Structure formats: structure tokens, C-alpha cells
Amino acid sequence: MSKNTPNRRRAALTTGALATAAVAALALSPVAAFAATPANVAQNGGAARSIDDSTQLLLDSVEAGPAKNVILLIGDGMGDSEITSARNYAYGAGGSLPGIDALPLTGQYTTYSVYKDGANKGKPDYVPDSAATGSAWATGTKTYDNAISVDVDGVPQDTLIEIAKANGKKTGNVSTAELQDATPAVQAAHVAARSCYGPDSVTQCGADALDQGGLGSISEQIIGTRADLTLGGGATSFGQTARAGQWQGDTLFAQAQDRGYQVVRDAAGLDGLTAADQTQPVLGTFTDGNFPTRYAATTATVGGADLAPQTCQPNPARLSTGLSLQSLTEKSIDLLDTGDQGFFLQVEGASIDKRDHSADACGQIGEVLDLDEAVQSALAFAEADGNTMVIVTADHAHTSQIVDSTPPATLSTALTTVDGTTMKIAYGTAAAGGSQQHTGTQLRVAGYGPGAANVVGLIDQTDNFFTIVNALQLDRDLDGLSADATISAPTEVAPGSEFTISTAGLAGDRQVTGTLDVDGTTTDLGIADVVDGVATYTVTAPTEPGSYTITLTGTQSGTTLSATVAVVVGAVTPAPTTPPAAAPADGASAGGAGTAGSGRGPLAFTGSDALPALLLALMLAGTGAALVLRRRHRATSAQDGVQL
């Protein structure tokens, strides 16, 4: 899945230097300054938002990359109409959303998807869904509606989280939806149909199911992608039981724990976390499905805007403040901002779209306000950090419109805003009880921080991918990041003794598979997670003396590493050791000279250097011998190994 970074079609804007205090004031003013429409809007200049010359302020906001961190915040279904109605309701027509409206660099982007097949294959499909749009910014590749990070031919495309992780960045994925929903899924899975939620989605998954030889359901792939933290809803799917693979018969929650995850289910568990990394990643699922919304529903009806205007009411089912999108964002930043490597974090406010589908004005407005609070927290961190790019945008536009008169035949509702006047919102793409449709208009994209000027003007949704990759200076050649990997194993072990085999330098891989070759017979050793480039198997030697070859293969890169271990009576099995460091990027390739130990020390091979040892092992291996394996793998540190 590796690719070469293409040249940008337009030059990056690089004017200016560090953001000034004026930019900080623009981005981070207190909510009170945004709270209402000015009293003098009816006077000349009273409604002006930028009455003075803002040229210098704009120039000062343009800062060249690179950036250490990127925070991408997505409002699902948040078109200009959804932003405007939320602003009108909560801050007034002349007010501003203190987060979303504060980013100083603003552009628009196109969101069309493409047709999957037929005469129009690869041509624009003007109204997209969340799967195609999310895949566009996550991978840089346009695809068809329903696809999760695969192209029109079904080929998996590397995602921002996968690429950032391979480059040593910490990664996070946060949503108020089920984690299997399209927007969080596009960063962590590759399936032909977005409805392939869990192992029980047999029909929906089809060839993508594990038992059909595929990569598995979205939930199973989320575990395998191994972002440092993943927070949202969707516990139901993780409670399903694996139908195939080495965790067959276990729930996905049990599998996650077995692979080293910290699994949290409530605010107290989240609050108690002090670390989230590859050794102990976090899987937090706080609802069975999607999060409850901020406001109770106000479903529109035919002629509804002629009724008495309503005021949005709190939803009694809303989660505690500790599980608000703002709190999840702040906790994620706290857990990810731990070192010099930097991080990539995606945050989604999911139910703007879902409530728009249901013609629920208060529901969608509340979700915009929730996202806005998360944006405020992201901006506050970025301003203090000085090396973080923040991008705020949406996946696709939606139905709701602010109208002057009550439409005679379509759904509408009326709300009383903070201005004390009535705002009428109409929904006209489905009848009562139906699902309102997405629309195909371009969307706002806004940015702050190093490299954010690349959102200015008219761009495409896929440009977000390249803006982020370039800002973080990510190497997209994931196969190359694993090319110099090494394998380490003892040359001799005693019969029945326990020993470790380790690989290092597999940065471009997320898992390895292992096989044991004995006299031409191959035994599957299962998979092990790659943790910070390292994968370790702990095995028990057979009691039958002989020579055995173990081959480990990077699941994503295909990099193959082999080592031969002799079972010798009287051998002194070395204590488990730290695996060898990978060769430097400018050093010998996998096909170059390897390093072999002597006597009973570790034996290391890189790439094809192991071929002579493999041939020797096949000639010398005794019949009927096999390694004693435990079915399960548990991801731990390099020193502790992965238990088999």
C-alpha cells in the first residue's frame, strides 16, 4: 500500500512567521466576546465584523510548516447552513462561534465522490456519503459511496493514522458516534461496505470477513490498527465474538485486552488513565451505540414553522460532562502530547448529520455547539504549544436551510434565538419520517498554525490529506520503513526450554505473521502486534533435537525475515534479550550483509540473508518435531515479548 508523495498542484503559502498575539486573540477570545449580536447593527457599520484593515493580522496568521502535531476536527454534515443556524441560535446573527469562527485561515473544498462501476466508473458522483468523503481526507484517494479507505477497485489505501503511526507519531481517533461509523472507521479500517461493523455483520462484510480471508470487520481492524487511543461509542460491536482467527470464540473486548489494550467504559475509567501508547493503547467505548445529543429532539413537521417558536431543551440522557466531546478532546491531547515525536488526532462531532437526517433542528444545533467547544480546546492547546496545526471542516453538506417563510409542503420548525427573534429552519429532501438527504455543495475548511495556509482558496477534500502529510513531514513509503528490519534468535536452545524470537525495525507494519518450517512442513504461529517497530514471539522448544526455521513476515509490507534455531541437548538457552535495532535508513538494505552471532549468542538476519539458513534448516530438520505453542498472543513490551 505504499505510495510516492505526489507534487502539490499548487504552491503552499509560506508568507509570514510565528502567529502574533493578535492572532492568539483572534483565535482564543473568551466566549463572552462572541455572545450576542451588537445592539447597534441597524446603524452604519454596526454589523461590520472587520471594519479596520486586517491585512497585517492575516499575514501574521500565515505560518510555514512543518508542524509537530495536527488536530483535525470534523463536523459530520456540518455545512454552512448548520454552522449559521447554530451561531444564530446561541450567539446571535452578529455573534461568532468562539471556536469554529475563530480560525483565521478559511477556504472552501469540493466533496464529490466517484462511481464504483459501470459506464461512469471513476467519474464524479456529486452527492457523497460519509464513507467516501472520510476516505478522501484520510487517504488522499477519491472513492465510491459506502467504501471505507479502499479505492474504486477495492484496493486498501494507507490512512493518516496508519502513516503517522509508521512515522513514529502518536495517534488518536475520537468520535461521538459508534467507532464503527464511517468517519472514525476511515482512519482504522479497509472494507468495501461501511456496514461491516463487527463479526456478526456476515452479509455486510462479505469477502472482507476474517473467515472469508479478508481483513476482518471494522471493529476487528480498529484493534489491529492500534492507534494509541480510540474513544467513542459502539460497544455493542466490540461485544461480539470473533468467528475466525486466533481469537476465535472470544469477544472483541477480550481480544483487545489480550493484545495489551486498556479498555475503559465510563468517565471514571477515562479519568484514571495516565498513559496511552503502543505498549498500552486505549480503547474507550462509553455507549452501546451513538452518544446521546446535547439537546432533546425537536422534529420538524409540515407547517411546523407556523407554530409557536421553541427553545432547545437539555437532553436528560446526555452523558456526563467528563464524556463531552470537549472533555474527550482535552483528555486525548493530554495523553498524546507526551514527547518530541508529536501526534495526529482526529475528532468528530458525529450527530450534526444524524439529527439533520431526522429533521431535528435542536439536535443538530446542540451538536455544532459541542464541536465548537472541542475546537476551543484544540485552539487553546495549539496557541500555547506553538507548533500545532488545527483544521476544522466537515465531510459533506446537508439538507437544513434557514428560510424566510414557512414552506407549504415540506418540514419546518421555528426556534427563538438569543437575539429574541424567530429563526425558521426547513427540511425539504424527504417526507416526514424519512431520512433527509446529503447535498453536494462545497464546504468550509478553516485552519490555524504551521502549514494551515494550505486550506485557503478552493481546494478539494483530498487536499486535506496532503496538507497534513506535508505539515507532519510524513514518509508515505511504508514498505520502505520496514525494509531494514532485523530478526534475532538464539542459535541453540535446550529441549523444552522457553526462548524468544524478536524483530525490530518493522515501522511500516502493524502485525507480523509467523511460521515454523520443519522438513518441508509449515506450521502457522499466528500473528503478533508490532509495538514501536518491534514484534516478539515467546515459544517453547520441542523436546526432539533438531534444527528449526522460523519465518516472520510483515503483514502490511510483506518484509520476510527468517532465523534458524537448533534444539541441542545440553545447550544453554540465552535469557531473553532486547531485539536488535533496525539498520539506519541510509544503511544496508534488506538484501545487504546481515549480522550473525556465534556460539550460543543471538543470531540476526535481515531480508534475504536468511535464505541459506532456511535451506540448511530444511535439510537438517527432524521429522515429527514441532514447537509447543499457546494459541494466544499478548502484546507487551519488547523485553517481555508477545506470548504464544
- Identify the DSSP state of 616: H
CB 356 within 8 A of CB 396: no
Number of neighbours of residue 248 by Cβ within 10 angstroms: 14
344-350-356-361 Cα dihedral, nearest 10 degrees: -100
Q: Is 446 helix (H, G, I), strand (E, B) or coil?
A: strand
- Written as nine digits, the cell of 277 is 501508547
The amino acid sitting at 40 is N
121: β partners: 115
Residue 520: exposed, middle, or buried by beta-carbon count in 10 A (0-12, 13-18, 19+)? exposed
- Written as nine digits, the cell of 305 is 414553522
> What residue has cell string 515454523?
516
Concatenating the DSSP letter of every residue in 387-425 gives SEEEEEEES-B-S-EEESS--SSSEEEEEE-TTSSEEEE
Residue 230: exposed, middle, or buried by beta-carbon count in 10 A (0-12, 13-18, 19+)? buried
523: phi then psi, degrees, rounded to nearest 5: -115, 130
443: β partners: 109
Give the integer Cα–Cα distance in Å for 450 and 309.
44
Give the integer Cα–Cα distance in Å for 67 and 389.
6
> What residue has cell string 456496514?
195
State the catalytic residue, choosing from 130, 217, 351, 557. 130
- Identify the DSSP state of 605: E
Residue 181 has, within 13 A of its CA and on its CB side, a CA count of: 28
**Residue 542 Cα distances to 491, 518, 569, angstroms:** 15, 12, 11
CB 414 within 8 A of CB 424: yes
The amino acid sitting at 107 is G
Annotation says 130 is catalytic: yes
Number of neighbours of residue 611 by Cβ within 10 angstroms: 12
Q: Is 232 helix (H, G, I), strand (E, B) or coil?
A: strand
- Written as nine digits, the cell of 428 is 425539504
**Residue 173 Cα distances to 314, 327, 330, 459, angstroms:** 27, 14, 13, 24
Active site residues: 130
